[in-house]
Chain A
Amino acid sequence: MTAMIDIADAQKTFTMHLQGGIELPVVRGVTFNVNPGECVVLSGPSGAGKSSILKMIFGNYRCDSGRIDIRHRGAVIDLATAEPRQVLNIRRSTIGYVSQFLRAVPRVATIDVVAEPLIVNGMSRADAQQRAGSLLHRLNIPERLWQLPPATFSGGEQQRVNIARGFIPDLPILLLDEPTASLDAANRAVVVDLIAGKKRQGVAMVAIVHDDEIRHLIADRIVDVTSFAAAA
């Protein structure tokens, strides 16, 4: 089986020019792959570079060296060297990312925040809103909130809107940064269920979860990030 994500020897260092040019090594020698239908959980203490690796796979952080091969529409593309336009195409139709916090545009209604990824991929507004509604419902966001912008919601509600927005498109790769961090037990169970659903659809996932119980429920494989620690 061909991997959806194949990372080889990826390295990242921050150079802080405003602090006299000090070098802040983040990770090096990052090497692992993720197959369709598999959830790989990154483990390691805080500061080990888990989020940075996720951001590198999304093309948000640049790589200094190494490759991050992504299967995109049947072809393999190295995200570490891809053109910006290509990265945007990959994000639109291949890689989804659920960040820890919702970065919402002011004034946009919750239902539209969630429906947007479907609309940009060509679905009609009505169909997209219907799917958004059922997902919000499943994540226990009451219907009376759907027309409001999420900016005023509680932290947990915002995270659930964020999860809905991240899970709604049918993308073959999904990156999850602490998707259950501020959720109660009932909603954590919903997210575990959503992840199981994605696995059945053959989605390749990389996740960061601190909760041992959740990790145990979703992880097919654990990659220990401390082995990529760059600080010598």
Chain B
Amino acid sequence: MVDQDFVDQDLADLDRLENDQPLLVAGSLSKSYGRIAACRDVSFALYPGEVLAIVGESGSGKSTLLQMLSGQLTPSAGHVSYRMRDGVTRDLTTLGEAERRFLFRTDWGYVHQDPAQGLRMAVSAGANVGERLMAVGWNHYGRIRDTASDWLGRVEIDVARIDDAPRTYSGGMRQRLQIARNLVTEPRLVFMDEPTGGLDVSVQARLLDLLRSLVAELHLAVIIVTHDLAVARLLSHRVMVMKGGRVIETGLTDQVLDDPREPYTQLLVSSILPP
């Protein structure tokens, strides 16, 4: 007979080993356009299940950084490495285009601020979600449709709307659909660029709440770019504050927001209107 405690202990150890290895490592990342430095010397490690918020105002370099981290923009200097599903850590700049696309279809998600960028607006909601599954080799129509319906339910979209195209959806529904499309393949890392940016406040709260529970349930690692400190507080474990292309302060989210050290971070925190 197998000693269950022993097995559990082994699993816990395995889990710890897994989680003790970073998923993504950025080393001295910089990007300049001619003489203008958009991003300077950014380094950090992201672990499985960890949510990192990059905050700062427009022009701070946070979007440039996100693009480099997700392999969409080649850094002027530095590197990004990622631990693939097979456990091998690869430098993103050495990945071929096909390998990078494959990562994007399987292990990564990317939630755009504007859902129209992340969705195909003219095809049905079901197809938007199903397409990601087909891209990873699913071919049974019934199973794809069932999984798509299940995901619509999880993001609180009425399943009766499965055959409607997202252009008939409201902004909040579109954003929830984009999230379903990204999460259906069970990625390990999701990039989010101002995911609540274009939404009404009431819609934002619902979306944040949904994101928060999905992230915890699926043990997702997330890198989220936002200028909204409330979003960072609700979703993230850690924050990096950017200004002028540099990371000026970093730490646990509640620590940085409740006990900000840098003048700029203090300014950001003091600029929040009380609820």
Identify the A interface with B (CB < 8 A). 14-18, 55, 59-62, 84-85, 87-88, 105-108, 120
B34 contacts chain A at the CB level, 8 A cutoff: no
Contacting residues, chain A, for B216 (C-beta < 8 A):
120
- Chain B residues with Cβ below 8 Å from A107 are 205-206, 209
Q: Which of A18, A59, A84 contacts B270 (CB 8 A)?
A: A18
Instruction: Provide the residues of chain B in CB contact with A62, threshold 8 Å.
Output: 251, 255, 259, 261
Select from chain A the residue with minimum beta-carbon distance to B265: A17
Check B252 for interface membership: any CB of A closer than 8 A: yes
- Set of chain B residues within 8 Å of A105, measured between Cβ atoms: 209, 212, 234
Contacts of A14 in B (CB 8 A): 259
Interface membership of B158, Cβ < 8 A = no
Contact B258 A61 (CB under 8 A): yes
Q: B212: which A residues are within 8 A, CB to CB?
A: 105
Chain A residues near B267 (CB-CB < 8 A): 17-18
**14 contacting pairs across A/B (C-beta < 8 A):** A16-B266, A18-B266, A18-B267, A55-B259, A59-B252, A60-B254, A84-B251, A84-B252, A85-B50, A88-B237, A106-B209, A107-B205, A107-B206, A107-B209
In the complex, are the beta carbons of B47 and A61 less than 8 A apart?
Answer: no
Q: Which residue of the partner chain, among A16, A84, A108, contacts B237 with CB atoms under 8 Å?
A: A84
Q: In the bound complex, do residue B238 and residue A84 qualify as a contact, i.e. CB atoms below 8 Å apart?
A: yes
B263 lies within 8 A of chain A by Cβ:
yes
Q: Counting CB contacts under 8 A, is B18 at the interface? A: no
Chain B window 245-275, contacts with chain A (Cβ cutoff 8 Å), 1 for yes, 0 for no:
0000001101100110111001100100000
Considering the complex, give the chain A residue whose CB is closest to the CB of B264.
A17
Are A17 and B266 within 8 A (Cβ)?
yes
Would you call A85 and B270 a contact (CB within 8 A)? Answer: no
Distance (whole angstroms) from the CB of A52 to the closest CB of chain B: 9
Closest 3 pairs between A and B when the two form their complex, measured CB to CB: A17-B263, A84-B252, A61-B259
Residue of A nearest to B216 (CB): A120
Q: CB < 8 Å: which of A15, A17, A60, A106 contacts B258?
A: A60
Q: Let me know if B263 and A85 touch, CB within 8 A.
A: no
Q: How far is the CB of A101 from chain B (nearest CB, A)?
A: 12
A195 to chain B minimum Cβ distance, whole angstroms, is: 25
Report yes or no: A87 in contact with B209, Cβ–Cβ below 8 A: no
Are A88 and B209 in touch, CB under 8 angstroms? no
Q: What's the Cα separation between A107 and B259 when bound, in Å?
A: 28
Minimal Cβ-Cβ distance residue in A for B271: A18
The distance from the CB of A25 to the nearest CB of chain B, in whole angstroms, is 14
On chain A, the residues within 8 Å of B262 by CB distance are 17
Q: Can you name the residue of chain A whose Cβ is closest to the Cβ of B254?
A: A60
**Complex CA distance for A84 and B206, rounded to whole angstroms:** 28
